[in-house]
Amino acid sequence: MGTAAATSVMTRPRSPRRPAPPPLALLASLVVLAALAAGAGSATARVVWLCRPGLSPNPCSVNLATTVYTPALTATGVVHPRRAEPPPIDCFYVYPTVSDQKTTNANLQIDPEERSIALYQAARYSQYCRVFAPMYRQITVPALQSGNKESPAQLALPVSDVRAAFAAYLRDDNHGRGFVLIGHSQGSFVLEQLIAKDIDPNPAVRRRLLSAILLGGNVLVKRGRGVGGTFQHIPACRSAAQLHCVIAFSTFDAPPPAASLFGRTTVRGDQVLCTNPAALAGGSALADPIFPSAPFAPGTLIAAGISLLKLTQPHPPTSWIEEPGAYSARCEDSHGAGVLMITARDGAQTPTPSPDPTWGLHLIDANIELGNLLAVVRSETAAFTRGAAS
């Protein structure tokens, strides 16, 4: 299987003297609480775009040529996915914790790790949509490694920056177009706050939302209902033609340890949502993993975390690699956690949890079913277009 997506707060290999970072789900709770308390009054920086139509360079706009592999990594051919011209919808992407800057909050400088994560997680969606991705003053990897407590104002900055960028997108670029929200890890937690504040209670904006793809972010729903919890009006996606809904999961290939916070909640009456893009109605189905062929930015903390997955990376001349059917995937309640459980098939590699079993396969959340997610976005786009024309 190809190199896993670089998607989360990660550490270099641990030493006894170096504290491990707290689970990012714990960071999520802090971000949520701080944003609710201080978000309205926090200072907002100018909007800086990592990806936007017409931007050069634009890491979200790349060639789509793809080498297809069997699960055992035998190349079977090259495909050239057709890009929609012009793209009928937009995608608004918020990247996870990747910044290696030494401060608590990153500044808005675009570094190699932001360019790489945009390639890994967002660029392939450009097949169907215009991709917008704002820079934001996220909590950095070194800040989480330090173990120091962030102030409410520092924790509020990511949410206020992304809300400002989304408002600018709606004002200057949307013009009534449908859009998909895409986030992972810290990016998902931030988008959850944006949706709860600016989309969920606003029917006019909510009608333009095709879906929110919120990976590794513990979206909550009322137990057995598929709605409520994090959002009041945006339910789980249960078919590829459903609109105004949410797709969410965290990936594991073994039962989550008790210490893992992914897939778990202590909120009475709620459960963590898991929706399998390969089988939105439920059950098991084959995953369609897609990864960039380029390695993640060398020398970064995320690149170090990726190496712990112990996966062989093919290096074809195409921009992408695809391994259809390498894994089966199923949403399960495993040891009290609602997670996407994958099983290797037909000689596919079994990834090692990184940095340890409590994280599961958090690093491949964005790519393990990227082909399936793209198929859902294509179907949703057709449904939205039909609705707009009627």
pLDDT of residue 176: 96
Structure tokens at 204: 């006019």
59 within some domain: yes
In a domain, 7, yes or no: no
**Do 138 and 35 contact (CB within 8 A), yes or no?**
no
Residue 351 forms part of a structural domain: yes
Q: Has residue 100 been placed in a domain?
A: yes
Q: Over the stretch 188-207, which tens digit does the pLDDT of each residue have? A: 999 999 999 999 999 999 99
Kindly state whether residue 18 falls inside one of the protein's structural domains. Answer: no
pLDDT band (50, 70, 90) for residue 354:
very high
Mean pLDDT for the chain overall = 89
Q: How would DSSP label each residue in 244-285?
A: SEEE---EESSPPPTT--TT---STTEEE----TT-TTSS-E
- Domain of residue 62: give its range: 24-389
Q: How far is 64 from 321, CA to CA, in rounded Å? A: 10
In this predicted structure, the answer to whether residue 5 has a pLDDT above a threshold of 80 is no
**Is 180 within a domain?**
yes
Q: Look at residue 4 and tell me if it is in a domain.
A: no
Q: What is the mean pLDDT of residues 97-124?
A: 97
Specify the amino acid at residue 208: R
Total number of domains constituting the chain: 1
For the full predicted model, state whether its pTM sits above 0.85: yes
The pLDDT of residue 313 is: 86
pLDDT band, residue 301 (cuts 50/70/90): very high
Residue 9 lies in a domain: no
Average pLDDT of 320-327?
A: 98
